[in-house]
Structure 1
Amino acid sequence: MAYTAKNYDHLKGGALKGLSDSQLDQHFGLYKGYVTKLNEIEERLATVDNTKPNYSYNEYSELKRREAVAFNGSFLHELYFENLGADNQISAGLKAALDAAGGQEKVLADLKACALGGPGWALLTRNRRDGKLHTYFVAEHHLGMPIEQDLLLVVDSWEHAYMVDYGTARPKYLDIIPENIKWSEVSKRFGK
Protein backbone atom coordinates (compact mmCIF):
# COMPACT_ATOMS: atom_id res chain seq x y z
CA MET A 1 0.00 0.00 0.00
CA ALA A 2 1.40 3.36 -0.94
CA TYR A 3 0.71 6.23 1.43
CA THR A 4 -0.36 9.60 0.09
CA ALA A 5 0.56 12.86 1.79
CA LYS A 6 -2.51 14.82 2.81
CA ASN A 7 -3.06 18.43 1.84
CA TYR A 8 -3.21 20.90 4.73
CA ASP A 9 -3.31 24.12 2.71
CA HIS A 10 -6.54 25.07 4.52
CA LEU A 11 -4.31 25.99 7.48
CA LYS A 12 -2.66 28.75 5.42
CA GLY A 13 -3.90 32.24 4.63
CA GLY A 14 -4.16 33.39 8.23
CA ALA A 15 -6.15 30.41 9.50
CA LEU A 16 -3.59 29.96 12.29
CA LYS A 17 -2.38 32.67 14.61
CA GLY A 18 1.38 33.24 14.54
CA LEU A 19 2.27 30.73 11.81
CA SER A 20 3.06 32.20 8.40
CA ASP A 21 2.36 30.54 5.07
CA SER A 22 6.11 30.32 4.53
CA GLN A 23 6.53 28.44 7.82
CA LEU A 24 3.65 26.11 7.01
CA ASP A 25 4.87 25.44 3.44
CA GLN A 26 8.27 24.37 4.72
CA HIS A 27 6.71 22.18 7.37
CA PHE A 28 4.32 20.58 4.86
CA GLY A 29 7.31 19.85 2.60
CA LEU A 30 9.17 18.09 5.41
CA TYR A 31 6.06 16.02 6.19
CA LYS A 32 5.72 15.02 2.53
CA GLY A 33 9.34 13.89 2.64
CA TYR A 34 8.53 11.47 5.47
CA VAL A 35 5.64 10.02 3.47
CA THR A 36 7.89 9.61 0.41
CA LYS A 37 10.57 7.84 2.46
CA LEU A 38 7.98 5.59 4.11
CA ASN A 39 6.79 4.48 0.69
CA GLU A 40 10.38 3.89 -0.48
CA ILE A 41 11.18 1.83 2.61
CA GLU A 42 8.04 -0.29 2.35
CA GLU A 43 8.60 -0.85 -1.38
CA ARG A 44 12.17 -2.00 -0.73
CA LEU A 45 11.12 -4.20 2.22
CA ALA A 46 8.77 -6.09 -0.10
CA THR A 47 11.72 -7.35 -2.14
CA VAL A 48 14.82 -7.30 0.07
CA ASP A 49 16.34 -10.55 1.38
CA ASN A 50 15.36 -10.97 5.03
CA THR A 51 17.17 -14.26 5.65
CA LYS A 52 20.36 -12.80 7.17
CA PRO A 53 19.43 -9.90 9.47
CA ASN A 54 22.36 -8.54 11.41
CA TYR A 55 22.87 -5.91 14.10
CA SER A 56 26.08 -4.57 12.55
CA TYR A 57 24.72 -4.19 9.04
CA ASN A 58 22.25 -5.78 6.71
CA GLU A 59 20.00 -3.98 4.24
CA TYR A 60 16.85 -5.55 5.65
CA SER A 61 17.90 -4.69 9.22
CA GLU A 62 18.63 -1.07 8.31
CA LEU A 63 15.31 -0.69 6.53
CA LYS A 64 13.46 -2.11 9.54
CA ARG A 65 15.34 0.27 11.88
CA ARG A 66 14.31 3.30 9.78
CA GLU A 67 10.76 2.18 9.02
CA ALA A 68 9.40 3.43 12.36
CA VAL A 69 11.12 6.81 11.86
CA ALA A 70 9.37 7.38 8.54
CA PHE A 71 6.06 5.91 9.73
CA ASN A 72 5.85 7.91 12.94
CA GLY A 73 7.28 10.99 11.24
CA SER A 74 4.48 10.82 8.70
CA PHE A 75 1.60 10.19 11.04
CA LEU A 76 2.67 12.35 14.00
CA HIS A 77 2.76 15.24 11.53
CA GLU A 78 -0.74 14.38 10.33
CA LEU A 79 -2.03 14.30 13.89
CA TYR A 80 -0.32 17.65 14.58
CA PHE A 81 -1.72 19.38 11.48
CA GLU A 82 -5.17 17.90 12.09
CA ASN A 83 -5.32 19.19 15.68
CA LEU A 84 -4.64 22.74 14.46
CA GLY A 85 -7.50 25.00 13.46
CA ALA A 86 -8.56 27.05 16.47
CA ASP A 87 -11.96 26.14 17.79
CA ASN A 88 -13.26 25.76 21.33
CA GLN A 89 -15.61 22.82 20.79
CA ILE A 90 -14.60 20.63 23.72
CA SER A 91 -16.80 17.61 24.34
CA ALA A 92 -18.25 17.03 27.79
CA GLY A 93 -16.14 13.87 28.18
CA LEU A 94 -12.88 15.62 27.32
CA LYS A 95 -13.78 18.57 29.56
CA ALA A 96 -14.38 16.19 32.46
CA ALA A 97 -11.02 14.48 31.83
CA LEU A 98 -9.24 17.86 31.64
CA ASP A 99 -10.92 18.94 34.88
CA ALA A 100 -9.88 15.69 36.58
CA ALA A 101 -6.29 16.43 35.52
CA GLY A 102 -6.37 19.89 37.11
CA GLY A 103 -8.09 21.84 34.35
CA GLN A 104 -7.42 22.82 30.76
CA GLU A 105 -4.89 25.55 31.65
CA LYS A 106 -2.87 23.21 33.88
CA VAL A 107 -2.82 20.48 31.24
CA LEU A 108 -1.74 22.92 28.51
CA ALA A 109 0.97 24.36 30.81
CA ASP A 110 2.28 20.86 31.37
CA LEU A 111 2.17 20.11 27.65
CA LYS A 112 4.17 23.29 26.98
CA ALA A 113 6.69 22.31 29.65
CA CYS A 114 7.06 18.92 27.94
CA ALA A 115 7.63 20.62 24.58
CA LEU A 116 10.31 22.84 26.10
CA GLY A 117 12.21 19.72 27.16
CA GLY A 118 13.95 19.64 23.80
CA PRO A 119 13.35 19.21 20.13
CA GLY A 120 10.78 16.50 19.59
CA TRP A 121 7.11 15.93 20.27
CA ALA A 122 4.85 16.82 23.17
CA LEU A 123 1.87 14.50 23.48
CA LEU A 124 -1.37 14.69 25.40
CA THR A 125 -2.69 11.16 25.73
CA ARG A 126 -5.33 9.12 27.45
CA ASN A 127 -3.61 6.23 29.15
CA ARG A 128 -5.51 3.01 28.43
CA ARG A 129 -4.31 1.48 31.72
CA ASP A 130 -5.53 4.14 34.15
CA GLY A 131 -7.93 6.08 31.89
CA LYS A 132 -6.30 9.39 32.84
CA LEU A 133 -4.77 12.13 30.75
CA HIS A 134 -0.98 12.20 30.58
CA THR A 135 1.59 14.37 28.87
CA TYR A 136 4.77 12.92 27.42
CA PHE A 137 7.86 14.22 25.68
CA VAL A 138 9.23 12.09 22.86
CA ALA A 139 12.62 13.17 21.53
CA GLU A 140 12.54 11.18 18.32
CA HIS A 141 9.73 9.71 16.27
CA HIS A 142 10.68 6.12 16.94
CA LEU A 143 12.22 6.23 20.43
CA GLY A 144 10.42 6.53 23.72
CA MET A 145 6.88 6.39 22.35
CA PRO A 146 4.73 5.33 25.31
CA ILE A 147 2.58 2.26 24.73
CA GLU A 148 -1.09 1.84 25.68
CA GLN A 149 -1.89 5.48 24.89
CA ASP A 150 -4.53 7.18 22.78
CA LEU A 151 -2.87 10.19 21.18
CA LEU A 152 -5.20 13.15 21.69
CA LEU A 153 -3.13 16.28 21.07
CA VAL A 154 0.23 16.33 19.31
CA VAL A 155 2.60 19.32 19.37
CA ASP A 156 5.63 19.40 17.11
CA SER A 157 8.46 21.07 19.03
CA TRP A 158 11.18 20.38 16.48
CA GLU A 159 12.83 23.54 15.15
CA HIS A 160 11.35 23.04 11.69
CA ALA A 161 7.90 23.73 13.15
CA TYR A 162 8.74 27.32 14.11
CA MET A 163 12.20 28.51 12.92
CA VAL A 164 10.94 30.60 9.98
CA ASP A 165 8.65 32.62 12.25
CA TYR A 166 10.40 32.46 15.62
CA GLY A 167 14.06 31.66 15.07
CA THR A 168 15.27 29.85 18.17
CA ALA A 169 12.45 31.22 20.38
CA ARG A 170 10.63 27.94 21.01
CA PRO A 171 8.71 29.42 24.00
CA LYS A 172 7.13 32.11 21.78
CA TYR A 173 6.01 29.44 19.30
CA LEU A 174 4.56 27.35 22.12
CA ASP A 175 2.69 30.40 23.44
CA ILE A 176 0.59 30.48 20.26
CA ILE A 177 -0.20 26.76 20.18
CA PRO A 178 -3.14 26.91 22.65
CA GLU A 179 -4.77 29.57 20.45
CA ASN A 180 -4.49 27.24 17.45
CA ILE A 181 -5.83 24.01 18.93
CA LYS A 182 -8.79 22.48 17.16
CA TRP A 183 -10.54 21.15 20.24
CA SER A 184 -13.24 19.50 18.16
CA GLU A 185 -10.55 17.21 16.69
CA VAL A 186 -9.05 16.49 20.13
CA SER A 187 -12.57 15.72 21.40
CA LYS A 188 -13.18 13.40 18.47
CA ARG A 189 -9.99 11.47 19.27
CA PHE A 190 -10.98 11.35 22.95
CA GLY A 191 -14.41 9.95 22.01
CA LYS A 192 -13.01 7.01 20.06
Structure 2
Amino acid sequence: MAFELPKLGYAYDALEPHMDARTMEIHHTKHHQGYTNNLNNAIAGTDLEGKSIEDILTGLDMDNGAVRNNGGGFYNHSLFWTVMNPEDRGYLSGELKDAIEATFGSKDEFIAAFSKAAATRFGSGWAWLCVQKGGKIEICSTPNQDNPLMPGVSCGGTPILGLDVWEHAYYLNYQNRRPDYINAFFSVINWNEVERRYAEAK
Protein backbone atom coordinates (compact mmCIF):
# COMPACT_ATOMS: atom_id res chain seq x y z
CA MET A 1 0.00 0.00 0.00
CA ALA A 2 1.35 3.40 -0.98
CA PHE A 3 1.24 6.24 1.52
CA GLU A 4 -1.62 8.69 1.03
CA LEU A 5 -1.94 12.35 1.90
CA PRO A 6 -3.91 12.47 5.18
CA LYS A 7 -6.97 14.69 5.38
CA LEU A 8 -6.76 17.75 7.59
CA GLY A 9 -9.98 17.11 9.47
CA TYR A 10 -10.92 20.80 9.28
CA ALA A 11 -11.26 23.49 6.62
CA TYR A 12 -8.23 25.41 5.36
CA ASP A 13 -9.61 28.62 6.89
CA ALA A 14 -10.56 27.02 10.22
CA LEU A 15 -7.44 28.18 12.07
CA GLU A 16 -7.65 31.82 11.01
CA PRO A 17 -6.46 34.38 11.99
CA HIS A 18 -3.60 32.36 13.48
CA MET A 19 -2.94 30.22 10.40
CA ASP A 20 -4.22 31.71 7.15
CA ALA A 21 -6.24 29.67 4.67
CA ARG A 22 -3.98 30.23 1.66
CA THR A 23 -0.88 29.03 3.48
CA MET A 24 -2.72 26.02 4.89
CA GLU A 25 -3.99 25.01 1.45
CA ILE A 26 -0.61 25.36 -0.27
CA HIS A 27 1.17 23.67 2.63
CA HIS A 28 -1.18 20.69 2.60
CA THR A 29 -1.93 20.19 -1.10
CA LYS A 30 1.48 21.12 -2.53
CA HIS A 31 4.20 20.57 0.07
CA HIS A 32 2.76 17.61 1.96
CA GLN A 33 1.45 16.04 -1.24
CA GLY A 34 4.91 16.41 -2.74
CA TYR A 35 6.57 14.64 0.19
CA THR A 36 3.96 11.89 -0.05
CA ASN A 37 4.51 11.33 -3.77
CA ASN A 38 8.29 11.44 -3.46
CA LEU A 39 8.31 9.03 -0.51
CA ASN A 40 6.26 6.52 -2.48
CA ASN A 41 8.67 6.83 -5.41
CA ALA A 42 11.70 6.44 -3.12
CA ILE A 43 10.52 3.21 -1.49
CA ALA A 44 8.91 1.59 -4.55
CA GLY A 45 10.47 -1.80 -5.21
CA THR A 46 12.60 -1.74 -2.04
CA ASP A 47 12.33 -3.64 1.25
CA LEU A 48 10.81 -0.52 2.80
CA GLU A 49 7.64 -0.90 0.76
CA GLY A 50 4.75 -2.01 3.00
CA LYS A 51 6.38 -0.85 6.25
CA SER A 52 4.80 1.77 8.50
CA ILE A 53 6.30 5.25 8.36
CA GLU A 54 7.44 4.84 11.98
CA ASP A 55 9.31 1.63 11.15
CA ILE A 56 10.89 3.26 8.11
CA LEU A 57 12.14 6.23 10.12
CA THR A 58 13.39 4.38 13.21
CA GLY A 59 15.43 2.00 11.04
CA LEU A 60 16.48 4.65 8.53
CA ASP A 61 19.78 4.71 6.69
CA MET A 62 20.52 8.41 7.21
CA ASP A 63 22.56 8.46 3.99
CA ASN A 64 19.38 7.69 2.01
CA GLY A 65 18.49 11.30 1.32
CA ALA A 66 15.31 10.60 -0.64
CA VAL A 67 13.71 8.56 2.16
CA ARG A 68 15.17 10.74 4.92
CA ASN A 69 13.82 13.99 3.46
CA ASN A 70 10.51 12.78 2.09
CA GLY A 71 9.75 10.23 4.79
CA GLY A 72 10.47 12.89 7.37
CA GLY A 73 8.35 15.40 5.50
CA PHE A 74 5.47 12.95 5.28
CA TYR A 75 5.57 12.01 8.97
CA ASN A 76 6.25 15.49 10.33
CA HIS A 77 3.34 17.10 8.50
CA SER A 78 1.01 14.22 9.34
CA LEU A 79 1.68 14.95 13.01
CA PHE A 80 1.55 18.74 12.55
CA TRP A 81 -2.02 18.83 11.21
CA THR A 82 -3.36 16.72 14.10
CA VAL A 83 -1.79 18.76 16.91
CA MET A 84 -3.78 21.80 15.77
CA ASN A 85 -7.56 22.14 15.91
CA PRO A 86 -10.06 25.00 15.52
CA GLU A 87 -12.21 23.88 18.47
CA ASP A 88 -12.52 21.15 21.12
CA ARG A 89 -8.82 21.64 21.79
CA GLY A 90 -8.99 20.85 25.46
CA TYR A 91 -6.33 22.31 27.73
CA LEU A 92 -3.09 21.18 29.27
CA SER A 93 -4.03 18.80 32.09
CA GLY A 94 -3.48 15.40 33.65
CA GLU A 95 -0.23 13.47 33.42
CA LEU A 96 1.15 15.62 30.60
CA LYS A 97 0.64 18.76 32.69
CA ASP A 98 2.39 17.05 35.60
CA ALA A 99 5.31 16.04 33.35
CA ILE A 100 5.64 19.56 31.91
CA GLU A 101 5.58 21.15 35.35
CA ALA A 102 8.11 18.63 36.69
CA THR A 103 10.48 19.28 33.79
CA PHE A 104 10.02 22.98 33.08
CA GLY A 105 8.43 24.34 36.26
CA SER A 106 5.27 25.71 34.65
CA LYS A 107 3.31 25.87 31.41
CA ASP A 108 4.70 29.36 30.78
CA GLU A 109 8.28 28.11 31.16
CA PHE A 110 7.51 25.24 28.79
CA ILE A 111 6.11 27.69 26.22
CA ALA A 112 9.21 29.85 26.57
CA ALA A 113 11.54 26.87 26.07
CA PHE A 114 9.60 25.49 23.11
CA SER A 115 9.40 28.96 21.53
CA LYS A 116 13.16 29.39 21.91
CA ALA A 117 13.83 26.04 20.23
CA ALA A 118 11.60 27.06 17.32
CA ALA A 119 12.91 30.62 17.04
CA THR A 120 16.60 29.69 17.19
CA ARG A 121 16.45 26.82 14.68
CA PHE A 122 18.71 28.24 11.97
CA GLY A 123 17.19 27.99 8.52
CA SER A 124 14.46 25.41 7.96
CA GLY A 125 13.40 22.77 10.45
CA TRP A 126 11.11 21.78 13.30
CA ALA A 127 10.70 22.21 17.06
CA TRP A 128 9.59 19.16 19.04
CA LEU A 129 8.24 18.03 22.37
CA CYS A 130 9.27 14.39 22.78
CA VAL A 131 8.51 11.72 25.33
CA GLN A 132 10.67 8.81 26.44
CA LYS A 133 9.40 5.50 27.74
CA GLY A 134 8.32 6.13 31.32
CA GLY A 135 7.06 9.62 30.56
CA LYS A 136 10.16 11.84 30.68
CA ILE A 137 9.80 14.73 28.23
CA GLU A 138 12.22 17.03 26.47
CA ILE A 139 12.30 19.79 23.87
CA CYS A 140 14.60 19.86 20.86
CA SER A 141 14.76 21.05 17.29
CA THR A 142 15.91 19.37 14.10
CA PRO A 143 17.02 20.69 10.70
CA ASN A 144 15.14 20.24 7.45
CA GLN A 145 12.68 17.30 7.70
CA ASP A 146 14.60 15.32 10.31
CA ASN A 147 12.70 14.22 13.42
CA PRO A 148 13.38 12.47 16.74
CA LEU A 149 12.41 9.02 15.45
CA MET A 150 15.48 8.97 13.20
CA PRO A 151 18.77 7.45 14.41
CA GLY A 152 21.33 9.87 15.81
CA VAL A 153 19.08 12.93 15.90
CA SER A 154 19.61 15.46 18.71
CA CYS A 155 16.84 14.13 20.95
CA GLY A 156 15.28 10.72 20.92
CA GLY A 157 11.92 9.42 21.96
CA THR A 158 8.54 9.88 20.35
CA PRO A 159 7.49 13.32 19.13
CA ILE A 160 4.07 14.35 20.49
CA LEU A 161 4.07 18.02 19.47
CA GLY A 162 5.83 19.52 16.47
CA LEU A 163 6.00 22.97 14.91
CA ASP A 164 7.08 23.51 11.32
CA VAL A 165 9.42 26.50 11.07
CA TRP A 166 10.16 26.23 7.37
CA GLU A 167 9.37 29.59 5.76
CA HIS A 168 6.67 28.02 3.59
CA ALA A 169 4.69 27.37 6.80
CA TYR A 170 4.29 31.05 7.66
CA TYR A 171 5.77 33.49 5.14
CA LEU A 172 2.59 34.52 3.33
CA ASN A 173 1.03 35.72 6.58
CA TYR A 174 3.96 36.50 8.87
CA GLN A 175 6.80 37.23 6.41
CA ASN A 176 10.04 37.20 8.45
CA ARG A 177 8.25 37.43 11.81
CA ARG A 178 8.83 33.85 12.89
CA PRO A 179 8.29 34.67 16.61
CA ASP A 180 4.76 35.94 15.82
CA TYR A 181 3.98 32.69 14.01
CA ILE A 182 5.35 30.64 16.91
CA ASN A 183 3.22 32.60 19.36
CA ALA A 184 0.12 32.05 17.19
CA PHE A 185 0.72 28.30 17.23
CA PHE A 186 -0.05 28.18 20.95
CA SER A 187 -3.56 29.51 20.21
CA VAL A 188 -4.46 26.47 18.09
CA ILE A 189 -2.72 23.53 19.83
CA ASN A 190 -4.99 20.51 20.14
CA TRP A 191 -4.07 19.50 23.70
CA ASN A 192 -6.47 16.56 23.57
CA GLU A 193 -4.37 15.05 20.78
CA VAL A 194 -1.04 15.89 22.42
CA GLU A 195 -2.19 14.24 25.66
CA ARG A 196 -3.39 11.19 23.73
CA ARG A 197 0.02 10.91 22.08
CA TYR A 198 1.75 11.33 25.44
CA ALA A 199 -0.24 8.53 27.04
CA GLU A 200 0.44 6.24 24.09
CA ALA A 201 4.16 6.98 23.89
CA LYS A 202 5.13 6.84 27.57
Q: TM-score, normalised by structure 2?
A: 0.79
- 1:16, distance to aligned residue in structure 2 (A): 4.3
Counterpart of 2:73 in structure 1 is 73
**Helix, strand or coil at the partner of 2:64:** helix
Which residue in 2 is equivalent to 1:93? 95
Distance, in Å, in 2 between the alignment partners of 1:62 and 1:184 is 33
Counterpart for residue 142 of structure 1: 146
- State the alpha-carbon separation in 1 of the partners of residues 162 and 62 from structure 2: 28
SS at match of 1:33: helix
In 1, the alpha carbon distance for the partners of 2:62 and 2:93 equals 43
Q: Which residue of 2 aligns with 1:38?
A: 39
8 Å CA contact 2:8, 2:81 repeated in 1? yes
Matches within 5 A, 1:113-132: 113-117=116-120, 118=122, 119-128=124-133, 131-132=135-136
Contact 2:135 2:198 in 1 (8 A): no
CA RMSD of aligned residues (A): 2.3
* Residue equivalent to 2:177: 169
User: After alignment, is 13-22 or 182-191 more displaced?
Assistant: 13-22
Q: Does the Cα contact within 8 Å between 1:38 and 1:67 map onto a contact in 2?
A: yes
1:178 to 1:150, Cα distance in 2 relative to 1, 3 A:
same
Distance 1:166 1:176, change over 3 A: same
Structure 1 residue 64, shift from structure 2 partner:
2.9
Which protein is bigger by CA-based radius of gyration? 1
Name the amino acid aligned to 1:111. F
**Aligned match of 1:57:** none
Aligned in 2, Cα 1:157/1:62: closer, same or farther, shift over 3 Å?
closer
Alignment gaps of 5+ in structure 1:
47-60
In structure 2, relative to structure 1, the CA distance for the partners of 1:115 and 1:148 (3 Å cut) is: closer
Unpaired runs of at least 5, structure 2: 48-60
After TM superposition, give the deviation of residue 98 of structure 1 in Å.
1.2
Aligned-pair CA distance for 1:88: 2.8
After TM superposition, the structure 1 = structure 2 runs for residues 9-88 of structure 1, keeping only pairs within 5 Å, are 10-28=10-28, 29-43=30-44, 45=46, 64-85=64-85, 87-88=89-90
For the structure 1 residues 112 and 147, does the alpha-carbon distance in structure 2 shift closer, same or farther, using more than 3 Å as the test?
closer
